[in-house]
Structure 1
Amino acid sequence: MRDFMGMMKQAAQLQSKMQEMQAELDMIEVEGVAGAGLVLVKLSAKGDLKHVRIDNSLMKESEKEVLEDLLIAAHADARRKAETVLAEKMKAMTGGLPLPPGLLG
């Protein structure tokens, strides 16, 4: 019974740490760039889009498709960085123990 109570205490501590980490991830921002800096997007480490900056040279009708592609590329770049931050935070919090996918929900 002691082992069970100890496991429950550890689970509660882990849940508390997870909530703290979720709040921290909202505050961390990563930048993604594309087109040698012509397009920049900022995401929270949780992946929420926070900001988009587009160079004026792309604001031409003839550049519409290029701009669309660069926005996608910049978002993908930022998303990869956000996933890296999340993985580093999880590794630090769990001591490298693998957790099931979707645990951060």
Structure 2
Amino acid sequence: MLNGLGGLGDMAKMMKTAQEMQGKMTQLQDDLANISVTGESGAGLVTATANAKGVLTGLNIDASIFDPNEKEVVEDLILAAIKDAQAKAADRSASEMKALQQSLGLPTDMKLPF
């Protein structure tokens, strides 16, 4: 395309690849907002749902754990479920990023800006 202009042809190809990568990363960010993961604690008595960006989107608490004398236990179960959901969200996000990097022919251990 740009024959005879030295490395400008390679530069144009690099710019096109960079634009493609930026588009795919933007799409991935949108996709992560739509992927749900669920964390749980207390053998499922408390479940927390988050998107793959780690934003909490739902919380479900089994009514059987509501005992005024067990307030700290309930609070601990809620926190544990939220932390579990956030950990799963981080794992899913990393997995999606790794898949994107592989599809672009990039090393999977390369740190990208998000």
The verdict on a shared fold, with TM-score over 0.5 as the criterion, is yes
The answer as to whether partners of 1:33 and 1:78 remain within 8 angstroms in 2 is yes
For 1:26 and 1:41, the matched residues in 2 are separated by 16
Query: How many residue pairs end up in the alignment?
Result: 103
Q: TM-score, normalised by structure 2?
A: 0.83
RMSD between superposed Cα atoms in Å: 1.4
Cα offsets for 1:25-76 (capped at 9, x unmatched): 1111000000011100000011111000111122222121111111111111
Q: Which structure 2 segments of 5+ residues have no match?
A: 1-7
Q: In structure 2, how many angstroms separate the alpha carbons of the residues matched to 1:99 and 1:42? A: 29
Work out whether 1:3 is the aligned partner of 2:14.
Answer: no
Question: Which residues of 2 match residues 1-105 of structure 1 at below 5 A?
Answer: 1-95=8-102, 97=107, 98-100=109-111, 103-104=113-114
When Rg is computed on C-alpha atoms for both structures, the one with the higher figure is: 2
Gaps of 5+ in 1: none
In structure 1, distance between residues paired with 2:110 and 2:70 = 44
Q: How many percent of aligned residue pairs carry the same amino acid? A: 41
Moved over 4 A (4+): none
